[in-house]
A and B are shown apart, each in its own frame.
Chain A
Amino acid sequence: MKLHPLTSLAIAGSAAVVTTAAASVPLSLAVMATAAALSFMSGRGAQVLAASAMILVPLCLALFMVHGLFFPEGTTVIAQWGPARVTIEGLTFAAERASRIGAAVVPLLVFSCTVSVPDLVAALSARGVSGRVAFVLAATLALVPAIGQQQLRIRQAQEARGLVIRRHLPSRIAAFRLQALPLVLSLVEEASGRAQALEARGFVSAARPTSYRQVQDPLPQRILRWLVLLCAAVVVGLRLSSSLPGGNW
């Protein structure tokens, strides 16, 4: 079954919300594993894994460094070097946070790596207010590879003008300036041309735009979407009510 972009967004977002609310390590691990499995089934496993590792590895390192070594509230000390104390409580806290964040990050990355961006843009544009958000999303995603190519052209042009990038800092700063300025100037200039084109093509004043690209949105998926979101809302509600005065944080 092909998922509508908003359905997969709702599922990924709800997974992130529910695991945050539940704050249970086993559930978080299960969600991460499921998301990873789904990404491998869709053939994007490697991409999702790489993206997750890039975000989660430094984050986990920081968490274990901060809480694993310095947790004044901890009482069960395993090891101690000068001011640094490794405590059970600190390690538990770090592990709990790391798994919770992982369980929010991985499903969302599975969504971004598997969704068809044009479909997402079409689905968002069809919903009124978000037309401009969809434009910004699509334009940003289109700009990233284009900027890469432009950056390469600019570097070649500057090298041909005598730019030599050496390892020391002043040379790097100078090289950065030589490349960043032409890049930003041309981007700003291009943007002002595009602004006029968008106005002329009626984007800015569009009242009720239609969509050329048709994205299938069958009824069962719409129901599923609402159910998933409702479920997430209920879990959040339960968690918040249990934590109100008298509850346990």
Chain B
Amino acid sequence: MSSTSLTLPAPAPAAARKRRLLEILGALAIAGTYAYLVLNQPSDIAGGPGSAAALIALSGFLVGAILLIMAVLPTLPASTLVLIPVALVLNIVLGQFVGSTLVPFYLDAIGTVLIAVLAGPAAGAATGALSSIIWSFFNPTVLPFAAGAALIGALAGLAARYGLFRRFYFAPIAGFLTGIIGGVVSAPVAAFVFGGTSGVATGAIVSAFRAMGDTLFAAITKQALLSDPMDKAIVFTLVALLVYALPRRARLQFPFVRRHNVLAGTGRDDATN
């Protein structure tokens, strides 16, 4: 019969190194862009046309996000890959709905955080970035936030990796901290690309800070620090509720959950036999 083997070969180390390099480059692109924007020129956003800053923010963050996707997406197992569209639809449907209300939250990361908890930081980062890119098919204004979304996914995965989803009260705390970092990173995009926020509710908060005489960048960063941590605390809590409602077999099909003992009550004792 056919001479091909029915079993999988061990993964080649060269490919793994290349992927790791892409991951690092992507993270560097995002970090570098952020550092450049913050260090060089927050003063004049409200001054001139400011399109160079917008271009740098757009291209730097987008290139970073795409590098991350290129690094991670080919390595994901099928069980994670098919869950990404589900996560994206959750992000988009909830995000679109909440964005249309007058609540200063977004709730557009539930799917991303769900994947991160089940499949790890890398998968979370790729899902976050992909989510923004594919959502921009319906709403192009979310595209520049791809890097921020990737960061949320990565942080959520790390939180899961280190057991913050094992206790119920840790999840909102982890979400709160993630929100602080995510908000700080997304603020330059809102400031330099959009010159403000995309919602009326968040806009009102920015207005309040501007009325107190803050620069636009400072006002948007403060607004992000008000909205994002609460938002992510809610998201992390909802995801914790979701994953604990999943049947055991569905949770344990993810090696990340088994290996790192992500959820309470699903020890690896049986898995290792």
Is the pair B55, A20 in contact by a Cβ cutoff of 8 Å? yes
Using CB atoms and an 8 Å cutoff, list the residues of chain B in contact with chain A: 41, 44, 46-56, 58-59, 69-70, 73-74, 76-79, 81-86, 88-90, 92-93, 99-100, 130, 133-134, 136-141, 194-200, 202-204, 206-207, 210-211, 213-214, 242, 245-247, 250, 253
Give CA–CA (A133, B197) in the complex, Å.
Answer: 28
Bound complex: CA of A141 vs CA of B247, how far in Å? 27
Q: Are B195 and A97 in contact (CB under 8 A)?
A: yes
Which has the most chain A C-beta neighbours within 10 Å: B86, B93, B140, B246?
B140
Q: A189-B250, A192-B253, A195-B82 are in contact. List 15 more A-B contacts (CB 8 A).
A: A17-B55, A58-B200, A59-B194, A62-B202, A62-B206, A94-B195, A97-B196, A129-B73, A132-B81, A136-B130, A191-B83, A195-B83, A236-B59, A239-B55, A249-B53
A195 and B85 alpha carbons, distance in the complex (Å): 12
Determine whether A104 belongs to the interface, using a CB cutoff of 8 Å to chain B: yes
Is the Cβ of B74 less than 8 Å from the Cβ of A129? yes
Q: Are A65 and B49 in contact (CB under 8 A)?
A: no
Give Cα A22–Cα B200 distance, bound, in whole angstroms.
27
Nearest A residue to B49 via CB reads A23
Does B82 contact A65, Cβ atoms closer than 8 Å? no
- Would B199 and A129 count as touching, CB distance under 8 A? no
A248 within 8 A of B: yes
Does A240 touch B at the CB level, under 8 Å? yes
**Residue pair A72, B48 in contact (C-beta under 8 Å):** no
Q: Report the minimal beta-carbon distance from B190 to chain A, rounded to whole angstroms.
A: 10
Give chain B residues whose Cβ lies under 8 Å from the Cβ of A66: 196-197, 203, 206-207, 210
Interface size on A, residues (CB 8 A): 71
**Closest B residue by C-beta to A74:** B46
Q: Report the separation of the CA atoms of residues A54 and B79 in the bound assembly, to the nearest whole angstrom.
A: 35
Q: Quick check: B51 and A58 within 8 Å, CB to CB?
A: no
Contacts of A73 in B (CB 8 A): 46-47
A226 contacts B by Cβ under 8 Å? no
Cβ proximity bits A96-127 to B, threshold 8 Å, 1 near / 0 not: 11001100110011001000000000000000
Whether A67 contacts B195 in the complex (CB less than 8 A), given A184-B90, A185-B245, A185-B246, comes out as yes
Contact of A136 among B74, B134, B202 (CB under 8 A): B134
Interface centre among A22, A83, A84, A249 (most CB of B within 10 A): A249
Contacts between the two chains (Cβ within 8 Å), count: 185
Query: Can you report 29 A-B residue pairs in the complex whose CB atoms are below 8 A from each other?
Result: A16-B140, A20-B55, A21-B55, A55-B198, A58-B99, A58-B200, A59-B198, A62-B196, A62-B198, A63-B195, A65-B203, A65-B204, A66-B196, A66-B207, A72-B214, A83-B211, A108-B136, A129-B70, A140-B88, A147-B89, A181-B245, A184-B90, A185-B250, A188-B86, A191-B82, A191-B86, A236-B59, A239-B55, A249-B48
User: Closest 9 interchain pairs by CB?
Assistant: A62-B203, A243-B52, A139-B85, A23-B51, A70-B210, A23-B49, A97-B195, A195-B78, A108-B140
Bound Cα distance from A87 to B134, whole angstroms? 38
From A73, A140, A192, A198, residue with most partner B Cβ within 10 Å: A140
Task: Verify A137–B137 contact, CB threshold 8 A.
Answer: yes
In A10-29, the 8 Å CB interface with B consists of 16-17, 20-23
| Nearest-neighbor residue (CB-CB) of A117 within chain B | B137
Q: Which residue of B lies closest to A89 (CB)?
A: B46
Contact A72 B51 (CB under 8 A): no
Q: CA of A239 to CA of B245 in the docked complex: distance in angstroms?
A: 52
- In Å, the complex CA distance between A188 and B252 comes to 13
Which B residue's beta carbon lies closest to that of A107? B140
Given contact pairs A65-B204, A93-B195, A20 touches B82 in the complex (Cβ within 8 A):
no
The distance from the CB of B143 to the nearest CB of chain A, in whole angstroms, is 8
Among candidates B46, B70, B92, B194, residue contacting A71 with C-beta atoms closer than 8 Å = B46
A116 to B212, CA, bound (A): 49
The reply on A49 being an interface residue by CB < 8 A is no
Question: Nearest CB to that of B53 among chain A residues?
Answer: A249
| Docked pose: A202 CA to B118 CA in angstroms | 24
Of the candidates B49, B54, B197, B250, which one forms a contact with A192 in the assembled complex, judged by CB atoms under 8 Å apart? B250
Q: Are A192 and B140 in contact (CB under 8 A)?
A: no
Give the residue of A61, A105, A204 whose beta carbon is less than 8 angstroms from that of B200: A61
Contact of A249 among B44, B81, B195 (CB under 8 A): B44
Instruction: Write the nearest CB–CB distance from A125 to chain B, whole angstroms.
Output: 13
Q: Mask for A169-199, Cβ within 8 A of B = 1, else 0?
A: 0000000000001001101110110111011
